[in-house]
Amino acid sequence: MNLLFRALLLLGLTAYSFAAPAVDSVRWCNKSPQEQRKCEALKAATGHFTCLEKKDTLQCIEAIKNGMADAITLDGGDIYEASLTNHDLHPIIAEDYGETTSDTCYYAVAVVKKGSGFSFRDLKGKKSCHTGLGKSAGWNIAIGTLLSEKILEWDGPETEQIETAVSRFFSASCVPGAAKDLYPKLCELCVNCARSHSEPYYDYEGAFKCLKDGKGEVAFVKHLTVKDANPSDYELLCKDGSRKELSDYLSCYLGRVPGHAVVTRSDKDLAHKIWQHLEAAKSTFPNLFKSSEYGGKNLMFKDSTKKLVLAPDNMNAYLYLGAEYMHIIQALKKKEPSSTPTDPVKWCAVGKKETEKCDAWSINTCTTTECDKGKIKCISAVSVDDCIEKIMKKEADAVAMDGGYVYRAGQCGLVPVMAENYDEEACSSSAPAQGSYYAVAVVKKDSPLTWDSLQGTKSCHTGLGRTAGWNIPMGTLKRTVIKDCDFTKFFSQSCVPGANKTSSLCSLCAGDKKTTIGGDHSKCLENDSESYYGYAGALRCLIEGGDVAFVKHTTVFDNTEGRNIPTWAKGYKPSDFKLLCYNSVRKTASPSEYKECNLARVPAHAVMTRPESRDVVVSLLKEQQTQFGSSQTDADAFKLFKSETKDLLFKDSTKCLTEVRAGTTVKDFLGREYYDSVTGLSACLPSELQQACTFHTCKLT
């Protein structure tokens, strides 16, 4: 019995060694026998992959979510599905289709046979071929374009599902993945309507085959699908009603969308392991982007892929696909949050103190003593970047921010709609000029420092990427002294909230001085839990141990004059400080001489929102500043531009908000000189959000 037991145990362990994947391997999920064959060849060539075959994309998404598999390459529409709460997968590696330069996007096109004699606007009643339900080029962009061009009529998800409207529009279709029993016309041209390679007309090559075989009259694919097609047999339908050659896709396409991406669970280590194994596979498996030897096309990766590109660690589906494409997907899938904000407008507040002021604002917008909601709803965030992302996702609607953040928000598709103005006289004008302020360098009155002797001193900054506190002084130093991107070697110590906590750029920060527990946790955070964050925080840093503070021209006066003087500034007067002059005959000047002694004149802070939300946000703020703005004289009333602690929601020096002309871009608002300066500086220390927002070279239009 003992020998039998040992034999069975050995047999079991041997079987397990064959069944269980190696700890270091990546488990790839495949949707067809052809893909499985290619995956097995990859496994044999590298030893770092195991292969799992599932029926379709959704089953693979489920397998990855449940830990049975690790990765699969998905189309944009499927990336959205995989990102939903019940799956929570993230795009980590993008396909790159560039021949000579990087290009992680492709063009969605409508292909027809030459001589078929109809235009894009004449598609009603025609037979259509689609790559698959919910896929980018074949469904989301195709149907989204028909809707936006008002060619396809649909009253929206409240009335009927989009599949019903499409069934009514085309006479017959092949839409792999459509519910055959509910929408028989959408599967009429298919063989089995499966959303996998078991359907001959599935995916790009399948949709094009559907057209070639004479089943359909139009195929919605990507431009690379027809790259090798006979140009004398096919052409493109353009949105303007014309037809063009297959090679003219740059001027005849429906949309330009992010390419396919490898997705996995939210696990940084797993993501990097997948990347490392795929990179290593290039030397041992030359067929990574070829499929013909395995009985199909576009297996595991698109055959048009030239290389793979690793996405930033913080990448998610929203940042990968972009706000506009997400808007299309959500609209078609009946999951679209309201595009334009309605009462209450969701205002983003950074940190605890801002949230408290925002809550007071919200309460004061109530029209009754016991209202359940005011005109403002407060959304709490941990940083301005967090606000930008929340606004992109429609979890928030608006926030006021510094010009450096305005630049970053613009990279993510937001627009300036209202600007702070610090000139009372200008605010009384019928057409006030755009607000601006001066960036200054402040030292204590008895300091021997000049602009030229700052190296090796202790510096205080409002925050990483902010205008007066970082972009202007460090941009100037980079042009004239530092020359490279290593900012840690200029100052001996700094407090730059938002910088790497382990670097000297954070060594001077104090964290939350109001608590004895968690100070280190708060240290160098980009919100008011860091005592040296913002304009007032940078001045406090100077008072409590720094040598120079980079702030705006009103900061000294805001904190040392008037009734609302913070405890840490008690006893200080404006005359206890002086300014360091740059490019001036004078070396220093009093704080009141900022117009002659400054680092730069820069654009005011701005309210940023989504383009489609502009009018609602502008209307609300015009109404709110009439009620709670600088004209409010009641000492006990809520004041939009005053804070218990400084500069919450808006700068305390704000006299009014002025409307930014519709259509103004971030570059227009910031001015070319400042915009170009920030572009160069941000390349040194780009934020994770900026890297994610600018990952793709394309923007959907």
Mean pLDDT for 250-271 is 95
Predicted local distance difference test score (pLDDT) of residue 3: 43
Mean pLDDT calculated for residue range 443-470: 96
Average pLDDT over residues 132-139: 95
Task: pLDDT band for 490, please (50, 70, 90 cuts).
Answer: very high
pLDDT over threshold 80, residue 356: yes
Question: What is the predicted pLDDT for the residue at 15?
Answer: 38
Task: Please check whether residue 252 is in contact with residue 238, taking contact to mean a CB–CB distance below 8 angstroms.
Answer: yes
Q: What is the pLDDT of residues 512-528, one digit of tens each?
A: 887 655 457 899 999 98
- Report the pLDDT averaged over residues 285-303: 95
If phi > 0 it is left, if psi is from -120 to 50 it is alpha, else beta; for residue 210 that is alpha
How high is the pLDDT of residue 564?
79
Say if CB 557 and CB 533 are below 8 A apart: no
Which band of pLDDT confidence, cut at 50, 70 and 90, is reported for residue 330?
confident
Question: Mean of the pLDDT values across residues 285-291?
Answer: 96
pLDDT above 70 as % of the chain: 93
pLDDT in tens, 593-645: 999 999 999 999 999 999 889 999 999 999 999 999 888 878 778 999 998 88
From the list 319, 354, 417, the residue with the least C-alpha distance to 650 is 354
**What does the alpha-carbon distance between residue 380 and residue 354 come to, in Å, rounded to a whole number?**
8
Which stretches does DSSP call E strand in 15-126? 26-30, 49-53, 72-74, 89-96, 105-113
Mean pLDDT of 654-683: 91
Instruction: Name the one residue in this structure whose structure tokens are 């820069």.
Output: 602
Neighbours of 489 (CB within 10 A): 11
Name the more confident of 665 and 326: 665
In this prediction, residue 53 carries a pLDDT of 97
The candidate with the shortest Cα–Cα distance to 128, out of 59, 9, 218, 35, is 218
**Choice between 652 and 520, residue whose per-residue pLDDT is larger:** 652
Using one digit for the tens of pLDDT, what is the confidence trace for 136-164? 999 999 999 999 899 999 988 888 999 99
Residue 589: both structure tokens together: 């000047």
- pLDDT at residue 463, rounded to an integer: 95
Question: What confidence category does residue 433 fall into, taking pLDDT thresholds of 50, 70 and 90?
Answer: confident
**Among 430, 432, 415, 427, CA closest to 615:** 415
The pLDDT value given to residue 16? 36
SS3 156: coil
Q: What is the mean pLDDT of residues 366-393?
A: 86
Angle, alpha carbons 697-230-216 (nearest 5°)? 85
pLDDT confidence of residue 520: 74
* Residue 265 pLDDT greater than 90, yes or no: yes
Res 644: pLDDT = 82
| 110 three-state secondary structure | strand
Question: What tokens were used for 193?
Answer: 């309507």
Residues of the chain with pLDDT > 90, as a percent, come to 75
pLDDT exceeds cutoff 60 at 337: no
Instruction: With cut-offs at 50, 70 and 90, classify the pLDDT of residue 340.
Output: low
Kindly state the average pLDDT of the residues 671-683: 88
Strands of 606-609's sheet in order across: 376-381, 345-350, 398-401, 606-609, 415-421, 656-659
CA distance 332 to 139: 9
